[in-house]
Structure 1
């Protein structure tokens, strides 16, 4: 037991999940009520900040293992007035989440894999379960906090062990009309980024 005069050997109270930890998480989107149907942002899921940035306010709950029930709060970028980087990072994270949740290799470019990376709307992401790589960032006060910046796909050697049960591929009810999604993509109807207008659903 340590001295009550010297606290240098006391445990640090950061309570952070170590950087690089792999954990199965469930995403809950905290709705912000901002819609822009021209971008495919419907259902009230998106949030528009005071700077004009638009994002999904993500609450990621660890579902099992050592850190079960721990919550990690991370914003998924949809649009930033400063340029396309934030939206591109958001799109990359969502691609990884879909690959992870639906058991798709990131290198798989088959028609089935491409269909599995399409969504009908943000409702398809609300409740999705996938393997996340836990990171550490800083909050608005400059304090350390856990963040999720990437998902782990079946290409990773530890994917199957962490995922446990086999991933559930999307049912026709979850992704009912791939032709429709492709049509919307072709028309640019779901394009959030200001440059190049990539589709969020593709």
Structure 2
């Protein structure tokens, strides 16, 4: 038996998400088989395939949730340990990843990055890195030029914080023009105090689990501080699923 491939359609290469696109994305962690620091992160990390490298990373898949690029995906690894060290002997890659993860939480929950109240600080504490699996936030997506045999690919340019005007527009479902890296347009944070940061509203106590579940479920856009208060619940076992997966 033979297989005639002449009548097959030419291979179609996936088009990239345009450089500078703003979108709400969800992050899924692809387990790499290497244990993390705690029981919750067993088998979570991925070892580098570079000879002699001690880097362990979080292999992440991002899916665009809404808009013209909905369901499109891109991938990125975040260093958790190893690699180049700073003058204090700490992994430079991990420090960068940690800042990005904090921004994801702030973007997901509508937290002002300057809010260092006890309630806000409690929401930035994770039981393990696996708690980030399923988190959704506003992102600016870039196109990274290919090198050698590798073609151009999408990556996370940066997490868009609630202090940026694009954050509220994306959360409201409004169109936002792409701002490529080469654009002379400079992104500036909002200088006026956001409406959700005004008034004397008291923040609700932090839950024992990450609290961004309300911002992740359903198709509507979440507003800062709009998650309804939940009754206090007993502490969950260490392996309990994050709140947004069970909501």
TM-score (norm 2): 0.58
Partner Cα separation in structure 2 for residue 72 and residue 28 of structure 1: 11
Aligned-pair distance for 1:27? 0.5
In the TM superposition, what whole-angstrom CA distance separates every residue of 1:145-189 from its partner, at most 9, and x where no partner exists?
Answer: 1101421111011212212389xx99725249xxxxxxxxxxxxx
Q: Which residue of 2 aligns with 1:185?
A: none
Partner Cα separation in structure 2 for residue 147 and residue 78 of structure 1: 18
Aligned-pair distance for 1:139? 5.2
Residues 163/43 of structure 1: CA separation in 2 closer, same or farther (3 Å cut) = farther
Find the residue that maps to 2:120 and give its secondary structure. Answer: helix
What residue ranges of structure 1 are gaps of 5+ in the alignment?
A: 1-12, 177-202
Partner Cα separation in structure 2 for residue 23 and residue 55 of structure 1: 24
Q: Which residue of 2 aligns with 1:45?
A: 44
Q: Which residue of 2 aligns with 1:64?
A: 66
Maintained 8 Å contact 1:53/1:81: yes
Aligned residues between the structures: 161
Q: Which residue of 2 aligns with 1:155?
A: 163
Residues 164/146 of structure 1: CA separation in 2 closer, same or farther (3 Å cut) = same
Maintained 8 Å contact 2:140/2:157: yes
C-alpha RMSD over aligned residues: 2.7
Q: Tell me which protein shows more strand as a share of its residues.
A: 1
Q: Which residue of 1 aligns with 2:25?
A: 25
Find the residue that maps to 1:69 and give its secondary structure. Answer: coil
Partner Cα separation in structure 2 for residue 163 and residue 43 of structure 1: 34
Maintained 8 Å contact 1:32/1:46: yes
Q: Which residue of 2 aligns with 1:95?
A: 102
TM-score (norm 1): 0.70
Maintained 8 Å contact 2:36/2:44: no
Structure (1 or 2) with the larger CA radius of gyration: 2
Partner Cα separation in structure 1 for residue 205 and residue 172 of structure 2: 18
Q: 2:111 aligns with which of 104, 114, 117?
A: 104
1:123 aligns with 2:130: yes
Find the residue that maps to 2:35 and give its secondary structure. Answer: strand
Which deviates more from structure 2 when the two are superposed, residues 23-32 or residues 107-116? 107-116
1:174 aligns with 2:174: no
Q: 1:85 aligns with which of 85, 89, 92?
A: 92
